[in-house]
Structure 1
Amino acid sequence: MPTDLQQKRPIIILVVLSALAIVAIIAFMTLGAKGSWAFVLKFRGIKLAALLLVAYAIAVSTVMFQTVTNNRILTPAVMGFDALFVLVHTFMVFAFGSSEVLLIDPRLRFIGETLLLVVFAGILFRWLFSGGERSLHLLVLVGIIFGVLFRSLSSFMQRVLDPNEFMVLQDTLFASFNSIDTTLLAISAAIVALASLAGLRLFHTFDVLSLGRPAAISLGVAHKRVVTALLVLISIMVAVSTALVGPVMFFGLLIAALAHYFTDSGKHRHVLPAAILIGIICLVGGQVILERVFAFDTALSIVIEFLGGIVFIVLILKRGAR
C-alpha cells in the first residue's frame, strides 16, 4: 500500500516545479532590464510567450507519443521527425529557390510545411504504431533508417544548391531559442490551442493507452481511431515547435524522462503538467543563465541536446540491462 507521502508526492512536485517556473519567468522578464519598462516588458513578453509555447508543444507531443507507442524511450525526434522537417525545408528551397520561398508569407509557408509534415508523419507513424505490438529494437531501427534516409536526401539536395541559397537554408535548420520568428506566434498559438482542445476530448483514454494495445482494446478503447487522431495532433505540435525554433533531437526525451522520474507516477494528470513545467524551467531558466551568466558564449540548444543525449543513452542502457 502506498504511503501518504507517496500519494502526495506528485502534487508536491508539481507545486515545487510551478514555483521554479514562476521564478524563471520573473527572472527572464526583469533581470538586466534597462530603459523603458513598457518596451522591455513587451519585447521580452513576446519572446517569453514563444518559449512557453515551444515548451508546451514539445512536452505534450513527447508524452503523448510515448503513450501511443507505450515506450518511454521513443520520441518523434528519435523516430526521424526532425529529419523529415529538414527534408521538407530543403526540398522547398531546392525546388523553388530561397528567394521564392522567402517571398511567401511566413504564415502561409508555415501552414504548408505543417500540412506536409502531418501527412508524411501520419502515414509513417500510423504504419508503425497502429498495428500489433512491435519490439523496441525494430522501432528504434526503423526510426534510425528513416532518419538516415531523410538526412541523406537532404544532404544530396544541399550539395547541389547554390552556395548562397545553401547559407540561407542553413540558417533555418539549426535550433535557436534566441531568435524565434514571432510573426508565427499568433497562428502557432491558435493551432496548438485547437490541437490541445481536440486532445483534451481524448484525455480519458491516455492512462488506458499507456497499458498497451491489447489492454486498451479489452477496456473498450477504439485503439486504431484514437491512435490515429493522437498521431495527427502530435505531428501538428511537433511541426509548430520545429517551425518556431528549429529541430531539437533530445529535448522532449529529457523533459519527459525527468517528469516521470520526479512524479514517480504513470498518471497523465501528473506527468503532463510536470513535463510542461520542466520544459518551461529548462527553456526560460536556461535562457536567463545563457544571457546573464554566459553572455551568449554558448547556445542553449547545444546544452539541452547534450543533456538529452545522455538521458537517451542511460534509458537505452537501463532497458538493455533488464
Structure 2
Amino acid sequence: MLHRRLLWLLLALVLACAVYMTFAAKGSWSFLLPFRGQKLAALVLVGASLSVATVLFQTITGNRILTPSIMGFDQLFIMIQTVLVFMMGSADYVGLPALLLFALNIGLMSGLGLGLFTLLRRGARGEMMRLVLTGIIFGVFLRSATGFVQRMIDPVEFSVVTVVTYARFNTVDGLLLVLATLVTLPALWAAWRMRARLDVLGLGETVALGLGEPPRRSQSAVLVLICTLVASATALVGPMAAFFGLIVSALAHVITPTERHAILLPSAALTGAVVLVGGQTLLERVLGLATPISVVVEAVGGALFLFLLLKRRRA
C-alpha cells in the first residue's frame, strides 16, 4: 500500500515536471528545453535535499516541528554573504567567479555548521533537546548580528545582500548545478544506507542504546549529512523558506503514515520536489515572477499545514 503511494508520488512528480516544461511554452524548443531543464533539475535537487535533511533532523531530535532552519542554517548563509559584501564591497562581491563563491559558501556553511553543532553538543552535554534550544538561541544571535552589520553597509550594498537572501531558480549556473549534484547525491545515498539505523534512532536514545546502536555516534553522522545537504542546496540557489521543510515533512507523514525511513525518505524527497516544481510553475506561469518562490511556498504551505492540523484535531 505504501509502496503504491510512492509510485503515485513519482507519477505526480513526472506530471509536474511535464507541466513545467511544456506549459505556456513560446519560442524555439532548442532553447526552451535546456533552459527550463536546467532550472527543473535544480528544483528537484533542492527539494529532495532539504526534505531529506528535515526528516533526518526530526529523527535525531524526536520532534516533528523542528527543521534545520531553526538552528540558524539559513541565517548563517545570510550572515556570510553580508560579511563578504561588507568586507569586499558590492562591486568586488558581484565580480567574484561563481565557482569560487559556491565553493566558499558550501565550505563555510559546512565547516561553521559542523563546528557550531560540536560546540553546542559539548555545552548541551549530549542532550539533544538542550542542543536544539541552544541552537535556537544562537540562531537569534546570528540574526541580530547580521542585522547590525547590514545597518552599517551602504544602501546599494544592502540591496545586493537582499537579492541573495531569497532562493532564486531563474538563473541557475550549469557548472554549479553539476557540482551541487556531485555533493548532494552521495549524501542522499548515505542517508538511504542509514535507513535501518535511523529507524532505531527514532525510537529514542535509551532504546537505541539498548538495541546496540550508539546514539551519539549515529547522531554525529546524521548531522554531517544534514550540514552537507543544506549547505549544497543553499549555496546553489540561496536560502529557502523556513516553512518548507516543515510542510514537506508533514505532508510526507500524511501521504505515507509510517516511521520506516525506507518509505519516509523517498516520500519526503518526492514530496519536496513536487512542491517546489509546482510552486515554481505557479510563480512563473501565473504570477509572472511577481514574488520569490519562498513566498509562494510559505503561503500555500502555511494554509495546507493549518488544514492538516485542524483536520487531525477533528479526527
Question: Does structure 2 retain, via aligned residues, the 8 Å contact 1:78–1:250?
Answer: no
Structure 1 unpaired stretches of 5+: 1-7
Is the CA contact 1:62–1:75 (under 8 Å) kept in the aligned structure 2?
yes
Q: Of the candidates 122, 131, 135, which is equivalent to residue 126 of structure 2?
A: 131
Query: What is the letter of the counterpart of residue 287 of structure 1?
Result: Q
Which residue of the partner structure matches residue 24 of structure 2? 32
2:62 maps to which residue? 70
**What is the letter of the counterpart of residue 101 of structure 1?**
Y
Using structure 1 for the length normalisation, give the TM-score: 0.87
SS of residue paired to 2:68: coil
2:177 corresponding residue in structure 1 = 185
Report how far residue 275 of structure 1 moved: 1.1
Q: For residue 294 of structure 1, what is the amino acid of its counterpart?
A: L
Aligned partner letter, 2:286: V
2:46 to 46, 49, 54: 54
Structure 1 pair 133–36 and aligned structure 2 pair: CA distance change class (3 A): closer
User: C-alpha distance in 1, partners of 2:35/2:125?
Assistant: 44
**How far is 1:93 from its partner?**
1.5
Match among 226, 233, 240 for residue 225 of structure 2: 233
Q: 1:265 aligns with which of 229, 239, 258?
A: 258
Alpha-carbon separation, structure 2, partners of 1:76 and 1:315? 22
Which residue of structure 1 lines up, in the alignment, with residue 283 of structure 2?
Answer: 290
SS of 2:273's equivalent in the other structure is helix
Do 1:173 and 1:246's aligned partners in 2 also have CA atoms closer than 8 Å?
yes
1:254–1:307 contact (8 Å) kept in structure 2: no
1:166 corresponds to which letter in structure 2?
F
Distance 1:168 1:112, change over 3 A: same
Q: CA deviation at 1:309?
A: 4.5
Unpaired segments ≥5 residues, structure 2: none
Counterparts of 1:133 and 1:58 in 2: how far apart (Å)?
21
The farther-off stretch of 30-39 and 48-57 is 30-39
Per-residue CA shift, 1:143-194, capped at 9, x if unaligned?
A: 4422221111111111111222211121111223434444411111111123
Q: Distance in 2 between matches of 1:116 and 1:317?
A: 40
1:52 positional shift? 0.8
Is 1:278 equivalent to 2:258 in the alignment? no
How has the CA–CA distance of structure 1 residues 116 and 286 changed in structure 2, closer, same or farther, with 3 Å as cutoff?
A: same
The letter for the 2-side match of 1:230 is V
For normalisation by structure 2, the TM-score amounts to 0.88
Q: Deviations over 1:43-81 (max 9, x none)?
A: 111111111111111111111111121211111012221
- Kindly, what percent of the aligned residue pairs are identical? 44
Aligned pairs for 1:143-182 (under 5 A) are 143-182=135-174
Paired with 1:163 and 1:71, the residues of 2 have a C-alpha distance of 40
TM-superposed deviation, 1:312? 7.0
Question: Quick check: 1:11 aligned with 2:3?
Answer: yes
Equivalent-residue separation in structure 2 for 1:76 and 1:316 (angstroms):
21
Kept in 2, the 8 Å contact 1:132–1:213? The answer is no
Which of these residues, 5, 10, 13, is aligned with residue 21 of structure 1?
13
Corresponding residue for residue 80 of structure 1: 72
For residues 293 and 112 of structure 1, do their structure 2 counterparts lie closer, same or farther at Cα, with a shift above 3 Å needed? closer
CA distance in 1, matches of 2:259, 2:205: 16
The Cα shift of 1:266 comes to: 0.7
TM-superposed deviation, 1:224: 1.9
Give the distance between the partners of 2:184 and 2:95, measured in 1 at CA.
Answer: 25
Amino acid at match of 1:61: A
Aligned equivalents of 1:311, 1:289: Cα separation in 2: 16
User: Runs in 1 of length 4+ with deviation above 6 angstroms?
Assistant: 311-318
- The aligned amino acid for 1:285 is G
SS at match of 2:129: coil
Find 1:112's aligned residue among 85, 104, 113. Answer: 104
Instruction: Count the aligned residue pairs.
Output: 309
What is the distance in 1 between the residues matched to 2:292 and 2:156? 24
Tell me by how many angstroms 1:204 deviates.
Answer: 2.6
Q: Which residue of 2 aligns with 1:5?
A: none
Q: CA RMSD in A?
A: 2.7
The match for 2:293 is 300
